[in-house]
Amino acid sequence: GESVGLHLPTLSVQEGDNSIINCAYSNSASDYFIWYKQESGKGPQFIIDIRSNMDKRQGQRVTVLLNKTVKHLSLQIAATQPGDSAVYFCASLVPGGTSYGKLTFGQGTILTVHP
């Protein structure tokens, strides 16, 4: 079955460094991927998404890379700031046609940015 996991449960970086958060998925039928940020006591916040027909997508200070060959995606955060400290989730979607499909969330990586 589908599973989405993170290689590193915690990541500590210095302010100004670039951060890379990794995620692996198991179902090659997954065709849509999302990254969420969750700050303490808050709901997940959408960061960026990517479809399986793309390898890379850039947002503001964030880039998502997708490697379908090894079923891996990563979130890169440039010039990490203390406000980036949060739990980051990846999620993958296996489409179900007219039904919901299966959106599976990973457990999360805790990113801590030190000033």
Residues found near another protein in the complex (CB under 8 A): 4, 32, 34, 36, 41-46, 49, 89, 91, 93, 99-101, 103-108
Shortest separation between residue 96's beta carbon and another protein, angstroms: 9
Of 90 and 113, the one with the shorter C-beta distance to another protein is 90
By C-beta, is 3 or 14 nearer to another protein? 3
C-beta neighbour count of 33 within 10 angstroms:
23
Considering the complex, what minimum distance in angstroms separates the CB of residue 60 from another protein? 16
